[in-house]
A and B are shown apart, each in its own frame.
Chain A
Amino acid sequence: MNLLPLAVLMTSFTAAMVIFLLPEARHRLRSLINIAAACLKLVLVIFLIQAVLQQDYPEFSWEILPGLSLVLRADALAMLFAGLSSLLWLFTTLYAIGYLENAPNRSRFFGFFSLCVASTMGIALAGNLLTFLIFYELLTLSTYPLVVHRGTPESLRAGRTYLIYTLAGGVLLLLGVALLYAEVGELNFGDTAALAEAFHAHPGRMSGIFFLLLVGLGVKAAIFPLHAWLPTAMVAPAPVSALLHAVAVVKAGAFGIIRLVYDVYGIELSAQQGLLLPLTLIAAFTILYGSWRALQQIDIKKRLAFSTVSQVSYILLGISLFGPLGTLGGLVHLLHQGLMKVTLFFCAGNYAETLGIHKIHELNGVGQRMPLTSAAFTLGALGMIGLPPIAGFISKWYLGLGALQAGMPWVLGVLIASSLLNAAYFLPVLKRIWFSDPPAAWPQQASESKRLWRDSSPWLLLPTLVTATLSLAAGLFAAASWSPLSWAELIVIREYLP
């Protein structure tokens, strides 16, 4: 029994409880608690990563039902997601503090924000499907108040859509997990032997359970046709969008599917039994569909939302390709997409806060007015397209290699088509930003005093710049031993190719 995984969870959970109890007016103290908790969590996660590097897997378990435990276990894959979330949580918190300056209801907002990250940590560290399910549902509950935060009828409608999708998905997941437990008798990640036995006894039933779980997880991963909640949820404040798209919700779905394929059913069994092909097909379709829909959006955040629909399916595509290179591409994209997408949403938030820009046609010439934000946006957008040496290129490169290795050259066609579509919906935006003439007046101006380098408020600008730099660095230094790519390689080597 090791309390370190629990401590990682409890830092944000305790922060949430303290923040709930703080009076609304204690803004400084609240910000301090937020930042301190985020930093503390990052340090604890680094400890955990150290442990995992030394082949030690700290585990915490607590029996919650006869024979079933809440298990928090740090393995390499868990740390991939936990590392991403805790890093991005820090930046998103800093950003949110700036973004919500002078806004009402901050106590409630930051409380649920921390709770949301606590659930994400739970999802990352879950050592069995039951634990995963618990935190998966907790994530739904803690994000709902964030989605409806503005309290307008429109955001309440979005909240309702969000709930209908995620709760229905949660019920399917619960059903799947209960069926699996009844068939196999255990739910631990990594013990695929018992499941393989059950699979050979009842192949039809076990395949059915696989797809039930896939659909339950696919709702949060926004696979077509379960994606409709994601663009609707764009009414939420920008930090929440970042949370939904890059740090927590969508990633939780994708991460769940990774666990399902690799640690519950096992990649070899899934590949042999043909469970992966439907996933490959649906992921490929979602990639193209998301990009196509993104092309039609005129709202910046909506375009980014559909881009997420498409980009998250890259992860699924990678893990559905049988072979180490495809896996590598999928896993590393989990990180890269998070870094790039969080940058893009921060930029969208900066534009909206500083100049009141929400639509793409309003971006004309904004590069001259807000050069740093625009540079960050450009980096993120080019990365999404897959331009070397930005992070997105690395992902696409390994995905392509993985497709060839798995003997599915048509996937390469999908990747190329999607990159062209990405270019088609990002390049015109970049052209507007840098090469069009600025309008006589911006939709709405923030006060001049608080801005850093004539751009945005420092709370908004600095996190944006840092994440943009990180997404560049993840590509430039991909060969370094601390890069996301190396960590993904470690996972692939250690867990899937024994």
Chain B
Amino acid sequence: MSSLALLPWLLILPLAAACLTGLLPLRATQISSLLVILSQALASLLLLLWMPSDEPLFYSLGSWGAPLGIVLRLDGLAAAFLMMTSLIASLCGLYALSYLRPSQQPGFWPLFWFLWAALNGIWLAGDLFNLYVGLELLSLAAVGLVALGGEASRVKAALRYLFAALLGSLGYLLGVSLLYGAHGTLDLELLAEVFHWGPLSALALALILAGLALKTAFFPLHTWLPPAHAGALTPVSALLSALVIKASFYIALRLWVELEMPERSLEVAQLLGLLGAGALFWGGWMALQQVKLKQVVAYSTVAQLGYLLLIFPLLSSSSSEASHLASQGGWLMLLSHALAKAGMFLAAGNLILCAGRSELSALAGLSRYRPMNIFAFGLAAVSLMGLPPSGGFSAKWLMLQSALISGQWWWILVILLGSLLSAAYLFRVFSHTYLETQDSVQFGQPSLMLELCALTLAALSILLGFFAPWPLAWFALPGPFTEALG
């Protein structure tokens, strides 16, 4: 069996699961979900192993070619992110199985599967319109997940998120229409060939980027993120912070590089970098002010997105080595943040289960009781702070090298100060857990499954520091992105 035949199943199976789980009784829903999770993990692993090392794969759904049919393309980047999605979504799914109340599960599973299908669709999409459909499906599923549970605060956060996401999608769609008007194609490969720079293209790209920035929650368009990510149920928070916002960033960076923007708009790139610095400092500062654990973690996402924004100016370098390092570092940062943040949200959820309240002050004395959760939180924190050995450190090292080679020393300062700030707000959490209290508090006991899911994700973000050459080799496999990078 060739790996090509596996591709459509990555979309069909989750979509089928989404429809099925909406209809089946709870027990059957859980069992079928477990089976599909297993098959997805297996399929993405096989794809990664069978990935041809010379050229990307193309697959036309139902043998309908472009422009009307749907073409899937699989390059190293897509394969790596398929794997990342399988890993994180599987663990979040397992977590949800034992975390969510039976009354919440019938709502969760269909949305979960739509989310997964949308993510796979986005990693594999080869044209702008399929990306739009993927983005919309992703946003709607994510908004539904945030509202899960139905409390007023969640509904409010979901509404805020929904309006931001809808506005973002329309900005993106408007940009795509303009691009189509100017170039007559939506296929990314074709577009890259015929792309010509002009006011219309510039406006179109600006709209697309602005729409994607709103969906990714880049500073200063981040205000919807903290209530949505902190307020949602724990497995949902992990999915949103680890995967959902990464999808729109992935599209933005792909378009940016494949349409050869790094050479065209140096000023915009510097501006995006500046926004990244703003995100790092503002997000870090706000994380330092929060009194609730999940709010700290959510603001940390806002801050960490700043690192991803820094890739844009680093790519705009005259040295191809520097831009190569920047893209490698950026994708690695995305990967390690996804693992670490998912682990951290799950660990935070466990800590809140232990303490019974979500305030930081409720954590006092927790580190003596059930140290496993603190340990998982700590491992994820190490990666987020970018301290060695961790995926976060390796990514930061590559970005530092890129900044040094391209002579943009000011971003070095931003990166280093950002890590100090993240150390400040994360160690603040730890110091609460070490405080010894006089009164003996009764702590709850999360199940072993919950603890293992959090620990696995956090440990993976650390292990990424030792095995970084593997994903880096996948990222470097030939494909439109690597070719455009030169």
Contacts and interface: CB of A to CB of B under 8 A. Distances in A.
Interface in A160-203: 160, 163, 167-168, 170-171, 174-175, 178-179, 181-182
Residue among A64, A145, A152 with most chain B CB within 10 A: A64
A21 B472 CA distance: 33
A178 B388 contact: no
Contacts of A151: 365, 434-436
Interface residues of A, number: 42
Given A64-B389, A65-B469, A182 B401 contact: yes
A101 interface: no
Contacts of B423: 163, 167
B397 interface: yes
Given A160-B431, A167-B423, A178 B466 contact: no
A240 interface: no
Contacts of B266: none
Contacts of B400: 174-175, 178
A interface secondary structure, majority: helix
B427 A182 contact: no
Contacts of A66: 328, 469, 472
Contact of A182 (B365, B382, B405, B472): B405
Interface string A127-151: 0000001100110110011001111
B408 to A, nearest CB: 12
A171 B388 contact: no
Interface in B362-415: 365, 367-368, 371-372, 375, 378, 382, 387-389, 393-394, 397-398, 400-401, 404-405, 412
A62 interface: yes
B190 interface: no
Interface stretch (A85-93, A103-111, A409-417): A103-111
B interface secondary structure, majority: helix
Given A138-B389, A151-B436, A171-B416, A181 B466 contact: no
B465 interface: yes
B398 A171 contact: no
Nearest to A168: B420
A152 B436 contact: yes
A385 interface: no
A159 B423 CA distance: 13
B466 A70 contact: yes
Contacts of A366: none
Interface in A18-36: 20-21, 24
A64 B389 CA distance: 9
B388 A133 contact: yes
Top 8 A-B pairs, shortest CB-CB distance:
A151-B436, A134-B388, A182-B404, A178-B400, A105-B368, A148-B434, A137-B387, A134-B389
18 contacts: A20-B372, A21-B372, A65-B394, A65-B469, A66-B469, A108-B368, A133-B388, A134-B393, A141-B378, A151-B365, A151-B436, A168-B420, A171-B420, A175-B400, A178-B400, A181-B401, A182-B401, A182-B404
Interface of B: 328, 365, 367-368, 371-372, 375, 378, 382, 387-389, 393-394, 397-398, 400-401, 404-405, 412, 416, 419-420, 423, 427, 430-431, 434-436, 465-469, 472
Interface of A: 20-21, 24, 62-66, 70, 104-105, 107-108, 111, 133-134, 137-138, 140-141, 144-145, 148-153, 156, 159-160, 163, 167-168, 170-171, 174-175, 178-179, 181-182
Given A134-B393, A163-B427, 14 more contacts: A20-B375, A62-B466, A64-B389, A65-B397, A138-B387, A138-B389, A148-B431, A151-B436, A152-B436, A159-B431, A171-B420, A174-B416, A178-B400, A178-B401
